[in-house]
Structure 1
Amino acid sequence: MRSRWKALALTAALSAALLAPEATMSTAAASDNGLATKPLMGWSGWGFLQRDPTAAKFKAQVDALASSGLKDLGYTYANMDDFWYKCPGSQGPDVDSNGRWVTDESLFPGSGSRDGMQVLADYVHGKGMKFGLYVTPGISAQAVAAKSRIKGTSYTADQIATTSSASNFNCKGMRAIDFGKPGAQEFIDSWAQQFADWGVDYLKLDGVGPSKTADVTAWSKALDKTGRPIALNLSASLSASSTWSPLANSWRIDGDIGASPRGYSFPLTSWANVSKRFDDAAKYQPYAGKGGWNDLDSFGVGNGENDGLTPPQRQTNMALWALASSQYMLGADLTNLDPGDKELLASKRLIAIDQDGIPASRVIKNGDEQVFAKREANGTWYIGVFNTDTTSSHTFSLPLAQLGLSGSAKITDMINNDKPLGTVSTYTTSVAAGGVALISAVPTSGTGGTGALVSADSGKCVDTDGGNSYLPGTKEQIWDCNGGFNQMITPTSTGELRTMGATECLDVYENGTTPGTKVSQWNCHGGSSQKWTVKSDGTIVAQHSGLCLDVVGARTGNGTGLQLWTCNGGANQKWSWDH
């Protein structure tokens, strides 16, 4: 999450900036609050336990997470999902005297004064891991009927509830909250504090979306107030916008990965549920970044034939999640791991690709071929060539210059034990049905064409504001050259100037053709507003307008923006490459 302390002020501003990108946004104020600096890793209880969790079943998975060695590889969150609380029927969850859900202690026994969830959290913490819990928006209809007193106030549940229902997919019986009413925020505050007192480290807020932004905001504020670092995950199928990044640490971008019938744990997933995430991974890519990550849901990998995927499809599941820098959560029965699946789950290469925190962009979608790629700060590229045809293998040829990697590169197979695949400028490979060729590509000479663009007028570099933002509309400017990730520009053979790990493009606002049109960062889409010609005289010309890339007002100070202007030979329109 990008600083929840600033979330309330930023939410509206960030949303507006997407609608009006000419007011290019700065993310400098959205400082990270220390949580989820990299995508979170762990195990989610919904994938396998689903509707039948118990303390014993949950502890068995926690034990397996530790004994399998997966915890030591970074899978440190153990997250309880739905059905931990008492749900007698459509009247809503049972509640305590302050209107908050009551733990079902027939499934999760307490100990002395400790609640059953606190007992479970203590167990997880004792294994050196972190404990996650589940909640949904609103307040139980039982609390409303009982006029439960909101802790620390004179207000009651009926005074903050509306007549509308709030999302609770399984238990039902939740009523929406009017956050304009006194006592509404205090109710969420008291609930969040209870979770903090139990030792919760991660909270999944399910059933939210654009209509529940007030609930998300309230929970975000409340978790901050507890003083305990609690990561906030939002679910499910949230909109592709900048609304969520100031408020949460991760957000589900699609429905459940699971494909099992109600009452069953298997299959963990299906090809349909994995393959639909190609488009969403590309669509949501710009909204991820340090502190807040896209969540493609837990893996459907771990239990062999019970996965619901072929072995090549399992590799695709893991590779797509890693390239996207998605939240990286297991969902399998960890007490019965398939040896081949475990090798994938424990792959240090895949984990490193995920944990680099660079959400890859989709470079190619053509028939059965999809290609996602990203460039590391050290110059190494990670490239996934996917075959979405589940009936037969296909051979694909990928000119590396299409990504922005000029010259040749040393290719290494990242799934099959770092197998060297030679040095090429065009990568040709046969990909199994539903499978992936996941490679690293290291330029054999220099940076492979990537470098800093230096202004002849000021000696400063083209710079993406904020340093770690992939958001559309982020300001492009000049700044003292520092070799930073946000100052590395990658020219492609199609005329793009890519930045931020070669995942975003320098873009002319609304394809403008008049002097003064702003140039900012935007997700690469192949349109004419992102096509440039780098000329031998040092100018960079927008192909659709013939105007030059220009430093506004010929100013030389840090933070001066970029625009299009009539080419005039001025020093503020001359650029050189520093490789």
Structure 2
Amino acid sequence: MKQSMPLWIAAHGLALAGLVANPAHAQKFDGLAATPQMGWNSWNTFACDINEKLIRDTADAMVKNGLKDAGYVYVNIDDCWHGKRDDKGVIHPDPERFPSGMKALADYVHGRGLKLGIYSDAGATTCGGKPGSRGHEYQDAITYAEWGIDYIKYDWCDTKGLNSAGAYTTMRDAIRSAGRPMLFSICEWGDTRPWDWARDVGHSWRTTGDIYPCWDCEFSQGSFSAWGVTRILDKQAGLRQHAGPGHWNDMDMLVVGKGLTDDEDKSHFSAWAMLASPLILGNDVRSMPASTHRIVTNAGAIAINQDPLGVSAWRFLKTGEVEYWAKPLANDEWALMVLNRGAQAAPVSFDWGAYHINDDLSKRTADFKHKRYAWTDAWSGKTGDTTRKLEAKVPSHGVVLLRLKAKT
């Protein structure tokens, strides 16, 4: 049915021709997510129990406890911030939960040197039953830009009859038309293989359903399942070639500090670092224990994740329950992860000289027989080099995470 020009176009002072005539609107914003984005999201701990005080206090905590200095810059509000649309269709935040409004909240977060993210959905309603952006894409993008939003997580609930590539492309174009660079995080759970179509649409895309804070499990929630750490890791097989600077495979938010053991948390964080997934914390950063803080601020693991080469790791060897993963880094360096999936500690004796690691994707080679590398373990701080076997006892569900640098 043909409709007249929506009231919101006039309300925002925009000409309809300007939205469709400029070819620049058909591009996502470049220069965002050159390395995987780092930040925090409200959902995994707070779900719909959110308000502006929580967001302000979280921003304050991220500055005070060193998360900002470690690289975590996005403070992302997930579902349930929404109030109602007004008579022009403009969305407003819940007036009881966010009485100061989103513009004031964004100003506060920006004043802390951080960035504010927000959540919407391609459907008519969000996963929490709040107003989605279907039919309001350009309107909402303009509203978010006016508020000063820096990041949009865009979900996939209530989307019957929609084409995912088309729906996300519409929102990409809406963000571009709004004129403010906003990182676009695609969250359709990997159902329609976004890695095949989303490179020029979003800055990251979910590759699986939601994560669940367990090591190796499937948690059924009726019509869908959430997955443990190793289940999500396994689902990344064959996807590394699709990721790179500005377009990342998103293995979902981190559950570090949400019930796993310390060894499992280290392995979880290491795997996300090695596979160049966004690092989005999901714990309560206002009151995390020192053990969790040490993991999520580990400089060595973060540097591996944030390596500018932007190449994801792959598993090159499996011996029983022990797996060996390699990741090429910039400046002819490498990262190596030894992951013990088993229920018992596993002795490791890795003969470097027996392996010649070749990566067809990055065209990088590590010939340990003819080239010597010095290594440092990101977790233990131990050092060594490849002239001697790597001897270690890896705890159950534990990890060794090495950074290798060629020696002349």
TM-score normalized with structure 2 length: 0.80
Q: Is the 8 A contact 1:410 1:441 kept in 2?
A: yes
Q: Is the 8 A contact 1:411 1:424 kept in 2?
A: no
Instruction: Report SS of the residue matched to 1:383.
Output: strand
Q: Measured at CA, do residues 364 and 220 of structure 1 come closer, stay the same or move farther in structure 2, by a change above 3 Å?
A: same
In 2: Cα distance, 1:299 partner to 1:244 partner: 22
1:105 corresponds in structure 2 to: 95
Instruction: Report SS of the residue matched to 2:330.
Output: coil
Task: Quote the offset at 1:215 in angstroms.
Answer: 1.2
1:123 corresponds in structure 2 to: 108
Q: Measured at CA, do residues 228 and 6 of structure 1 come closer, stay the same or move farther in structure 2, by a change above 3 Å?
A: closer
Number of aligned residue pairs: 357
Aligned-partner residue type, residue 231 of structure 1: L
Q: Is the 8 A contact 1:43 1:77 kept in 2?
A: yes
Q: Does 1:289 align with 2:247?
A: no
Instruction: Report SS of the residue matched to 1:283.
Output: coil
Q: Is the 8 A contact 2:25 2:176 kept in 1?
A: no
Q: How high is the sequence identity, in percent, across the aligned residues?
A: 30
2:334 corresponds in structure 1 to: 381
Q: Is the 8 A contact 2:273 2:301 kept in 1?
A: yes
Aligned-partner residue type, residue 375 of structure 1: P
Instruction: Report SS of the residue matched to 1:429.
Output: strand
Q: Is the 8 A contact 1:7 1:247 kept in 2?
A: no
1:412 corresponds in structure 2 to: 376
Task: Quote the offset at 1:370 in angstroms.
Answer: 2.0
Q: Measured at CA, do residues 399 and 99 of structure 1 come closer, stay the same or move farther in structure 2, by a change above 3 Å?
A: farther
- 1:357-376 alignment to 2 at 5 Å? 357-376=310-329
Structure 1, residues 284-336: CA drift from partner, whole Å, max 9, x if none? Answer: 2111111111112222124xxxx211111111011001111111111111111
- 1:23-172 alignment to 2 at 5 Å? 33-86=30-83, 94-110=84-100, 116-139=101-124, 168-171=126-129
Q: Measured at CA, do residues 8 and 395 of structure 1 come closer, stay the same or move farther in structure 2, by a change above 3 Å?
A: farther
Q: Measured at CA, do residues 73 and 172 of structure 1 come closer, stay the same or move farther in structure 2, by a change above 3 Å?
A: closer
Q: Is the 8 A contact 1:361 1:372 kept in 2?
A: yes
Structure with higher Rg: it is: 1
2:403 corresponds in structure 1 to: 440
Instruction: Report SS of the residue matched to 2:103.
Output: helix
Pairwise CA RMSD of aligned residues?
Answer: 2.6
Structure 1, residues 82-128: CA drift from partner, whole Å, max 9, x if none? Answer: 01013xxxxxxx32223343311111103xxxxx1222111111111
Instruction: Report SS of the residue matched to 2:332.
Output: coil
1:277 corresponds in structure 2 to: 232
2:278 corresponds in structure 1 to: 327
2:173 corresponds in structure 1 to: 221
Q: Is the 8 A contact 1:32 1:291 kept in 2?
A: no
Q: Measured at CA, do residues 299 and 138 of structure 1 come closer, stay the same or move farther in structure 2, by a change above 3 Å?
A: closer
Q: Is the 8 A contact 2:315 2:324 kept in 1?
A: yes
- Deviates most, 61-70 or 210-219: 210-219
Task: Quote the offset at 1:7 in angstroms.
Answer: 9.2
Match 1:255 to one of 194, 209, 215: 209
> Where has structure 1 moved over 4 Å in runs of 4 or more?
5-9
Aligned-partner residue type, residue 98 of structure 2: F
Instruction: Report SS of the residue matched to 1:47.
Output: helix
Which stretches in structure 2 are left out of the alignment for 5+ residues? 1-22, 215-225, 359-365
In 2: Cα distance, 1:376 partner to 1:45 partner: 31
Task: Quote the offset at 1:440 in angstroms.
Answer: 2.0
In 1: Cα distance, 2:327 partner to 2:388 partner: 17
Q: Measured at CA, do residues 298 and 75 of structure 1 come closer, stay the same or move farther in structure 2, by a change above 3 Å?
A: same
Aligned-partner residue type, residue 118 of structure 1: K
In 2: Cα distance, 1:44 partner to 1:222 partner: 23
Instruction: Report SS of the residue matched to 1:135.
Output: strand
Which stretches in structure 1 are left out of the alignment for 5+ residues? 10-30, 87-93, 111-115, 141-167, 178-183, 261-270, 446-579
Task: Quote the offset at 1:63 in angstroms.
Answer: 0.9
